[in-house]
Structure 1
Amino acid sequence: MRPAYLLPLKGILERLDAGEVVIGDGGYVLQLERRGYVKAGHWTPEAAVEHPEAVRQLHREFLRAGADVMQTFTFYSCDDKLDISGNAPNITCQQINEVACDIAREVANEGGALVCAGVSQTGVYKDRSSESEVKAIVKKQLDVFLRKDVDFLIAEYFAHVEEAVWAVEVLVTSGKPVASTLCISPKGDIDRVCPAECAVRLVKAGAKIVGVNCHVDPTQCLNTVKQMKEGLDTAGLRAHLMIQPLGFHCPDCTSAGYIGLPEFPFALESRVVNRWDVHKYAREAYTAGIRYIGGCCGFEPYHIRALAEELAPERGFLPPASQKHGLWGSALEGSSKPYVKARASRSHWENLKPASGRPLCPSMSIPDA
């Protein structure tokens, strides 16, 4: 029997309308910075052109871990952001976007995944007077995505719902399904527009999938999307829900998110969520009615594998990356050491309270203003 992940390709809305779980991929920018391909502070994606093999490999690892979507590595890939970075004077955003689409499609075709092309917040957004500038930037990106015939589009990582609405209004002119996720906390966007109202505005602009990504951890993201759902229900609007949180514990974040933590961006490892945290997050997201479930910065392939394993009963199959190690530590049953073998149980990992190993460190930080 052909594996479920290689069955004939269905569109994103077809999958979600049928109530299927869609597993997103994880974070690219931070992972590639750690591996030496992205410049910290600028976070622009010229690595797609400079080191396509690195981007391709990360896509492949997410696909093997169970991701149903390959999101193009086009974060911050607009002219104003690249100009500000000054990091790739001989590389244009058009080049980046074209190559990123090609890489994502190549890998997606290896496992029956969908390709999603993304736009994000611009550097020119100031107030309502910048609407035409923002829309022109998004339109330029969209033109490339349409030539590459991606499967659907996303406006992600917007801190102002107003700017996200403008992006959605441009993207929907393509006729392709449009998703939109905000990098906001349960308190709302930067202008203090509450999550419920944010969701309503995005759906009215034409987004078929709405939610949050980045900036805060799974718990805070879940709280935010639940508020979005309540807002849509109250308004009598229908949309699918999406969530892609940080792979870091940061309950001490302010509404500005993890970028305000003193550990950002070079000392976040002590906050990384483990795979059992991800199992819990996946189940809570599913129970809340969210069907597009993935991760953002800090989410590595093994985190996506944990998502796929937790939701395997609903999806009907396990990803290829699960073949080696078994579920809930069952691979440890073959250990020659009895105290390791004893950990080959779900109860051990579900009840674990992991230690940090840092006796002089506080459990929380004081975020910058």
Structure 2
Amino acid sequence: MTADSRTPPEPHDSQHLLSPAPQHHSTPPEVRLLDPNTGLFFPTAVGVGDSLGCALATPRLCPHGSARPSALSAGRPGRRAGGVRQFPARARTGAAEPQDRLPARFLRAGVPVPPQLQGSLVGWAMGILERLNSGEVVIGDGGFVFALEKRGYVKAGPWTPEAAVEHPEAVRQLHREFLRAGSNVMQTFTFYASEDKLENRGNYVAEKISGQKVNEAACDIARQVADEGDALVAGGVSQTPSYLSCKSETEVKKVFQQQLEVFLKKNVDFLIAEYFEHVEEAVWAVEALKTSGKPVAATMCIGPEGDLHGVRPGECAVRLVKAGASIVGVNCHFDPTTSLQTVKLMKEGLEAARLKAHLMSQPLAYHTPDCNKQGFIDLPEFPFGLEPRVATRWDIQKYAREAYNLGVRYIGGCCGFEPYHIRAIAEELAPERGFLPPASEKHGSWGSGLDMHTKPWIRARARKEYWENLRIASGRPYNPSMSKPDAWGVTKGTAELMQQKEATTEQQLKELFEKQKFKSAQ
């Protein structure tokens, strides 16, 4: 039983500062031992089936240069060790002393800690709630369906994750890029992997592959990559066609429970109910996942106006926490600025109800100030014309800082977020976390690597002031800066949202084309 399967301790106050998070471990599994002469933690290889007694070998540096100073012996700002810049940990108020810990895979392997090592190893691997309760910043991953669609492995429209079975190498590589960029949660690629979605509107996946195989493959890939670093695995569920088709609570929960069975079999570290437009369905998802005894996070794809039935963000958060979620927030549908406005409303709702929960934010990497209540899916550019709206790495650094200042400690991204966006989060919060991600060895802070460019006017851009103050042009002089969202005003309970197993017919499409023309002319 992991610590997270027990009743979690109360979350720390959101204003507590951070203790350094761990750096990545390489394969084979490693234990980091404290060198009393330098104050650095060094990894030593250990076989998974071995006792940790064999870890008394000479310390060595990780291939990624993951040795870093603890708060006991922090390096100077900008100092490099093993290719990764190190930062002194900031002063803490009420935070526990920083702890080094073993990779979570040692717990699963049942590796014992002999007495002679217990003085060197301060603590065990921590689960999601232990990390957040200690004040650690948890960095999520980015957008899988959009990234893999662009790479040719996901079909736009159904957005289903059969690539976990058909092209596991593509999914694995994207996980690895997010891990290298700084993510310490590998979320299973199970978005829209419910059985009813995999057979919706002519989708072949449920019949030819099966939802169980897709979910199992996604869990295996996420675990493999997580074990290459200090990352947790989160099993994820999302909104269902069954709910949109007005099926009962029992029927909808059964869909979630099918995925949950796989997550329990594969022993994911925690669970996420994400991408819900209706708080009612999100609550059902949380209640279903909570039966596992594992920690549950819940995020809704809503903006400041609330869910599509008019429930305000603060009330949504209250309902999710009462249902059993320990972490609440938003993901997708809105840009970072709008998403943080929504998280702030959720935070205020929880405070008013005297409820405690950790806050989470995983927004779009697109600028969407012209969205309406339903978010970017109503923009005429969705999904194939969004590129001019992509946020820069500097935009995302600003988002990370604002999220942190709001008290959000689980910070990641959704659609449009590429690994370099996640790296921007990790770099912005490096002073709080105590280290930079491995990917930063190929990225100079605020363009500092440009000082190596052959052209002098490019070298002149190797400074923060230049990039921080640049007003970025779109290169499209004849295009509008804003769009008019579609406003069909349909949601759960509307006939047009009833789903079907059969493929959409030509007649159904013709009727939709005519309605679109009518709406556009209004």
Q: Considering the TM-score relative to the shorter chain, is it more than 0.5?
A: yes
Alpha-carbon distance between aligned partners in 1 of 2:141 and 2:101, rounded to the nearest angstrom: 19
Matched, 1:48 2:164: yes
Gaps of 5+ in 2: 1-40, 43-65, 69-99, 103-124, 488-522
Matched, 1:309 2:455: no
> What letter matches 2:469 in structure 1?
N
Corresponding residue number in structure 2 for 1:104: 222
Report the alpha carbon displacement of residue 55 of structure 1 after superposing the two structures with TM: 0.2
Matched, 1:87 2:200: no
Corresponding residue number in structure 2 for 1:320: 438
1:11-50 matches, cutoff 5 A? 11-50=127-166
1:238 counterpart SS class: coil
2:199 counterpart SS class: helix
Corresponding residue number in structure 1 for 2:25: none
- Give the structure-1-normalised TM-score: 0.98
1:128-139 matches, cutoff 5 A? 130-139=248-257
Alpha-carbon distance between aligned partners in 2 of 1:335 and 1:127, rounded to the nearest angstrom: 57
> What letter matches 2:203 in structure 1?
G
Gaps of 5+ in 1: none
- Give the structure-2-normalised TM-score: 0.69
1:255-294 matches, cutoff 5 A? 255-294=373-412
* Paired residue total: 369
Alpha-carbon distance between aligned partners in 1 of 2:222 and 2:135, rounded to the nearest angstrom: 25
Q: 1:263 to 1:127 in 2, by over 3 A?
A: closer
The partner residue of 1:75 within 191, 194, 211 is: 191
1:1-20 matches, cutoff 5 A? 1-2=41-42, 3=66, 7-8=101-102, 9-20=125-136
> What letter matches 2:354 in structure 1?
G
More helix by share: 1
Write out the 4+ residue segments of structure 1 that deviate beyond 2 Å after TM superposition.
1-9, 126-129
Q: 1:98 to 1:129 in 2, by over 3 A?
A: closer
Report the alpha carbon displacement of residue 87 of structure 1 after superposing the two structures with TM: 3.4
Give the root-mean-square deviation of aligned CA atoms: 1.3
Corresponding residue number in structure 2 for 1:61: 177
1:255 counterpart SS class: coil
Q: Percent identity?
A: 69
Matched, 1:189 2:300: no
Corresponding residue number in structure 1 for 2:240: 122
Alpha-carbon distance between aligned partners in 2 of 1:106 and 1:212, rounded to the nearest angstrom: 27
1:221 counterpart SS class: helix
The partner residue of 2:279 within 161, 172, 183 is: 161
Report the alpha carbon displacement of residue 127 of structure 1 after superposing the two structures with TM: 8.2
Alpha-carbon distance between aligned partners in 2 of 1:256 and 1:206, rounded to the nearest angstrom: 26
2:261 counterpart SS class: helix
Could you list the per-position Cα deviations for residues 58-117 of structure 1 after superposition, in whole angstroms to 9, with x for gaps in the alignment? 000000000010000000101110111513331101000000000000000001100000
Corresponding residue number in structure 2 for 1:202: 320
Larger Rg: 2
Alpha-carbon distance between aligned partners in 2 of 1:128 and 1:107, rounded to the nearest angstrom: 38
Could you list the per-position Cα deviations for residues 270-292 of structure 1 after superposition, in whole angstroms to 9, with x for gaps in the alignment? 10000000000000000000000
Moved more, 191-200 or 348-357: 348-357
1:156 counterpart SS class: strand
Alpha-carbon distance between aligned partners in 2 of 1:304 and 1:322, rounded to the nearest angstrom: 11
